[in-house]
């Protein structure tokens, strides 16, 4: 005769045992409503206390099960929120605290335990422009992987090769929102995890030729206005910053955000510490008190004579300013990133150079040159990247060196059909 099944939430027969330490221990099992066997173990000072603890543990497990079952029933009856409502809640949760900006010194210290406001703004713009118009009206429990697949892969255009980074960011944001929905009990799964990979745009890092670098440096030299033509007195700021970018590979925000506090001019040594970067966004412009990442905080040895001469000249002629900037405006403030890019673009156009030159172009050129002369790891350290893989992928223009297989090629042997 078959043995009858132990009812749910009832302990299997067990016998407490007395250990060498004088404490009683009991081990047993119980079945839940689904028939799944659950192990249980309790210890106590007396045999009676252990038995009571075993019964109490089973009762608590049954209570948790009943509570979860009730919550699940309530969730079924509740009206599912729309994707737009959950996305707004997620944005509000992730929004960092406001940056406290010292207007006099143009400095700000964002919280380091949250995402940067620039990152949050990118997330918000991506959602409002590319995602919410398509998926916002849907109820959350209606959305399936095909909805997200179509929305994400519909962002980029295959022929022009544009929109891949935007689509990849949309996928990241959507995955985070659906993870949030799972944590809030709105969903049991995250369908974005099964969306196919967004392709990478095949972009070759730019490495400017030596002749082009010389032409750019000539194009940004200060020009005196023609006789009879008014205007502000020309300065060497544009050409000096370009020289620094060419010689270091700094990000433009790091270069324009350099202060004399970060420069050490000692005898033959000139050191530049990257301790912050400029941030320009809608309604705000300030110097962030730390660089882009922890690896970006670095000290560079400036041994090039041209760089040293330029910094020593600026150091000798520097005046008291409220920002202590190495490359200040006439008012002593930091130069806006947008203004610098406009000045560089105009100088390139006036010189009629055909190549597209941006501040970032010098960064990839420096990365390629250092990687070729030393190593990828050396380029990573110079540019302040967190990984050599980032440097190789985006900043080094160098084809792989193939081993010499020429010994297997016999040029003297006639070709056979």
Whether the per-residue pLDDT at 324 is higher than 50: the answer is yes
Task: Give the separation between CA 33 and CA 64, rounded to whole angstroms.
Answer: 12
Over range 222-245, report the average pLDDT.
Answer: 76
CB hemisphere CA count around 193 (13 angstroms): 8
Q: In this predicted structure, what is the pLDDT of residue 81?
A: 92
DSSP annotation of 233: P
Task: Give the separation between CA 150 and CA 145, rounded to whole angstroms.
Answer: 9
Q: Which helix (H) or strand (E) holds 145?
A: helix 145-153
Nearest to 139 by CA among 85, 192, 179: 85
Pick the more confident residue, 369 or 6: 369
Nearest to 254 by CA among 283, 282, 284, 277: 277
Only one residue has tokens 């070759």, namely: 204
CA end-to-end distance (rounded Å), the chain: 82
pLDDT tens by residue, 39-95: 999 999 999 999 999 999 999 999 998 888 887 777 667 678 999 999 999 999 999
Q: How confident is the model at residue 248 (pLDDT cuts 50, 70, 90)?
A: very high
Q: How confident is the model at residue 402 (pLDDT cuts 50, 70, 90)?
A: low
pLDDT tens by residue, 128-173: 999 999 999 999 989 999 999 999 999 988 766 688 999 999 999 9
Over range 203-210, report the average pLDDT.
Answer: 81
Average pLDDT, the chain: 87
Pick the more confident residue, 12 or 162: 12
**Does pTM top 0.75 for this prediction?**
no
Residues 6+ apart with CB under 8 A from 148: 135, 171, 174, 191, 192, 195
User: What 3-state class would DSSP assign to 301?
Assistant: strand
Q: In this predicted structure, what is the pLDDT of residue 4?
A: 61
Report the percent of the chain where pLDDT is more than 70: 88
């Amino acid at each position: 005769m078959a043995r009858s099944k132990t009812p749910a939430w009832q302990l299997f027969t067990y016998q407490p045992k007395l250990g060498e330490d004088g404490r009683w221990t009991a081990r047993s099992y119980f079945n839940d409503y689904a028939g799944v066997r659950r192990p249980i173990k309790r210890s106590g000072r007396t045999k009676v206390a252990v038995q009571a603890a075993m019964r109490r543990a089973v009762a608590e497990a049954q209570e948790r099960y009943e509570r979860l079952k009730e919550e699940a029933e309530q969730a079924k009856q509740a009206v599912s929120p729309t994707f737009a409502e959950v996305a707004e809640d997620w944005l509000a949760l992730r929004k960092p605290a406001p940056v406290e900006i010292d207007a006099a010194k143009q400095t700000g210290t964002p919280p380091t335990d949250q995402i940067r406001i620039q990152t949050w703004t990118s997330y918000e713009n991506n959602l409002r422009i590319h995602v919410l118009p398509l998926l916002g009206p849907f109820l959350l429990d209606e959305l399936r992987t095909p909805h997200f697949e179509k929305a994400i892969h519909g962002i980029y255009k295959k022929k022009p090769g544009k929109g891949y980074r935007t689509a990849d960011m949309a996928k990241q944001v959507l995955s985070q929102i659906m993870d949030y929905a799972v944590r809030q009990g709105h969903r049991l799964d995250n369908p974005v995890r099964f969306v196919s990979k967004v392709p990478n745009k095949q972009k070759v890092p730019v490495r400017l030729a030596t002749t082009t670098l010389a032409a750019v440096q000539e194009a940004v030299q200060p020009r005196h206005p023609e006789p009879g033509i008014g205007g502000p007195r020309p300065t060497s700021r544009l050409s000096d910053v370009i020289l620094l970018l060419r010689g270091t590979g700094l990000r433009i925000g790091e270069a324009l955000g350099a202060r004399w506090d970060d420069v050490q001019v000692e005898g033959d040594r000139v050191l530049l510490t990257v301790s912050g970067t400029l941030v320009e966004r809608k309604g705000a412009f300030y110097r962030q008190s730390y660089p882009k990442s922890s690896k970006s905080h670095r000290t560079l040895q400036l041994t090039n004579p041209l760089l040293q001469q330029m910094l020593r000249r600026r150091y000798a002629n520097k005046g008291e300013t409220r920002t202590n900037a190495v490359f200040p405006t006439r008012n002593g403030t930091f130069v806006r990133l947008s203004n610098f890019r406009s000045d560089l673009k105009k100088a390139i156009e006036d010189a009629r150079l055909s190549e597209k030159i941006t501040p970032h172009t010098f960064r990839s050129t420096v990365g390629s040159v250092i990687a070729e002369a030393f190593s990828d790891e050396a380029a990573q350290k110079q540019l302040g990247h967190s990984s050599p893989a980032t440097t190789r992928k985006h900043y080094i223009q160098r084809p792989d060196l193939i081993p010499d297989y020429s010994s297997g090629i016999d040029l003297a042997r006639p070709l056979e059909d």
